[in-house]
Amino acid sequence: MPSPPPSSPDAATLTPRAAAALLARCASRAAAAALHARLLRCSRAFFRSPYLANCLAAAYSRLGAAPSAVAFLRAAVARPNVFTRNILLSALLGSGHLEDARRLFDGMAQRDAVTYNAMLSGYAAAALPEEALRLFHSMRERGVTPTGFTFSIVSSTVGSARHGQQLHAAAVRHGLAHLDAVVGNALIDMYRRIGLLKHAACVFSCMEEPDVTSWNSVMSVYKDQALSRTVFECFRSMSSKGFSVDGFSVSTVLSVCSDVKDFAKGDQMLALCVKMSFVTNSIVCSAVIDFLCVSDRLSDAVQLFRGMPTWGSEPCNALISGYARSGLMEEALNLFVASMRNGVVPTGFTFASVLRWSSCFGLMEQGTQIHCLVCKLGFQDDVIVSTALTDMYCKLGLTRHARKTFRTVVAKDLVLWNTMLLGLLQNGRGKEALGIFRRMLKCGIQPDRITLFGALSACSLEGLVTEAMDIITLFKDRNVERGSEFCREQVARV
């Protein structure tokens, strides 16, 4: 049954301010609609001014009835003000009418930060980063001061180092990068996502009042850099400064313990998880299962998994990987199938984990079946899954299938390029590997140490000494490999 509208004064004492307060308290669309009907019965004069109409439309939008908000505002408000238009803009975006929202935005004589934030959110939700960045620059050119929320939205759309550093500089100029924890956290996540991990750590070190999210974010950054000791130091500092650790904090540290096989610290974190009842959290539970599997306590991991009231994708992924790591591929595949039967939608990590171990054990039939499922569920464009498929086919010697999978990916990242390069090399196809290397450079992908190893190994396989020297010179010019000792080792190989 629909929830009733909040208890309210009678018609004689119901004022626009009282009605607005009631609308703000509505917890369901049915309650808002019931209050709307009551206000109309009392007097249509309630909606002659935009104030109460704005409140009602805002309530509809907040409760997931954006189309109702749009229809009501267009019918009820003859002279909309900037607040009306902002609410209408958000409602249009909430209904998925991005083009209509942009037309409304372009026709607005007055635009404030709320107006721009709504439109920026629409572009971010529609995965249109270039439009979002252009609008952000237009906002600043028109003299509208960005808020912390503005920087949070725009940072989620940044995909390059240049744009990231420009956004960071703008946040510094507006005095928000170091003083506003929300902006600082957004910048840390942005730099982590685009791979500028040192910049992310620098943002954290300059924050005047970091919060728990800040500490968690920078610990993830140090984890990505494989700086396990720094992660442990951050965790201790966080606790000593009076911050209450949460599930994300302990799961990050526990994952690091698994990575470096520090079982003593891992057991301490495991005890803390039990003491603070964090194990019921799906993310923490998956980290615990992974740690138990890595520390050769698979039976304890299985027991923990079976005691979960509901299945989640993260714990399933962790146990599937644990089974496979122990060589129990039949159990891993059975759990993979059972998880889907229990309504757990597989993620890219699920497929990547199963495919990785299928290739390790030479299970071609199972691997191709999983590939069919990948296509059926629409994961063929996922770069993580495609990388795992490419790696699997290369390890199985099916380079034609690997190349076909590789070609279908539009947005190839460095890991996928390296996987294809090394996979061809492992199958004795040095010239093809060098072709992949040249295409990678033409596409503007910044190579790394693994790329250098693959390219020089391909030269060694084909006996191409001159080309190997050219590659080393190229890498030095790009400042990719600073270690001359590593370069000398690779030259010796050729």
The CB-based long-range contact list for 180-184 (8 Å cut-off, 24+ gap) reads 180/148, 181/207, 181/209, 181/210, 181/211, 181/213, 181/214, 182/148, 182/149, 182/152, 183/148, 183/151, 183/152, 184/210, 184/214
* Residue-level pLDDT at 223: 92
CA distance 119 to 101: 8
User: Mean per-residue pLDDT for 441-454?
Assistant: 83
pLDDT at 78: 59
| 440 part of a folded domain | yes
Q: Residue 133: what pLDDT?
A: 94
Highest mean pLDDT among 38-42, 106-110, 235-239, 307-311 belongs to 235-239
Residue 244 lies in a domain: no
| CA 156, chain centre distance (Å) | 9
Residue 432 located in a structural domain: yes
> 110 lies in a domain?
no
Residue 483 CA to residue 71 CA, distance in Å, equals 65
Higher pLDDT, 183 or 95: 183
Summarised one tens digit per residue, pLDDT across range 331-374 is 888 888 888 888 887 777 777 777 776 655 556 667 677 777 77
- 438: in domain: yes
pLDDT average, residue stretch 137-162: 92
Q: Answer whether residue 439 is part of any domain.
A: yes
| Pick from 197-201, 302-306, 376-380, 478-482: least confident | 478-482
CA distances from 490 to 138, 333, 437, 438, 480 (A): 50, 40, 16, 18, 14
**For position 482, what pLDDT does the model report?**
47
Q: Apex CA 334: angle with CA 328 and CA 338, to 5°?
A: 145
**Average pLDDT in the 207-222 region?**
93
Q: What is the pLDDT of residue 92?
A: 80
HEC profile of 244-276: CCCHHHHHHHHHHHHHHCCHHHHHHHHHHHHHC
Reference 385, options 484, 485, 317, 319; nearest CA is: 317
pLDDT at 190 over 90: yes
**pLDDT tens-digit series, residues 8-66:** 445 445 677 787 788 788 888 788 888 788 777 776 666 666 777 778 778 877 777 77
Percent of the chain residues topping a pLDDT of 90: 33
Confidence band, pLDDT 50/70/90 cuts, at residue 303 = very high
Q: What percentage of the chain carries pLDDT values higher than 70?
A: 88
More confident of the two residues 186 and 486: 186
The chain-wide mean pLDDT, for the chain, equals 83
Q: What is the average pLDDT across 442-454?
A: 83
Q: Which of 153-167, 373-387, 457-471 has the highest mean pLDDT?
A: 153-167
Is the pLDDT confidence value at 376 over 80? no
3-state secondary structure of 395: helix
- On the question of pLDDT at 479 being above 70, the answer is no
Number of domains in the chain: 1
How many angstroms from the chain centroid is the CA of residue 381?
16
- pLDDT of 462 higher than 80: no
Residue scoring higher pLDDT (94 or 315): 315
Higher pLDDT, 159 or 260: 260
Nearest Cα neighbor of 359 from 389, 380, 383 is: 389
- Is residue 85 included in any domain, yes or no? no
CA of residue 464 relative to chain centroid, distance: 42
Axis crossing angle, helix 212-224 with helix 247-260, rounded to the nearest 10: 20
Question: Which range of residues forms the domain containing residue 453?
Answer: 426-494
Of 50-64, 283-297, 378-392, the poorest mean pLDDT is in 50-64
* pLDDT of 205 strictly over 80: yes
pLDDT of residue 110 exceeding 80: yes
> Has residue 446 been placed in a domain?
yes
**Mean pLDDT, range 240-253, rounded to an integer:** 91
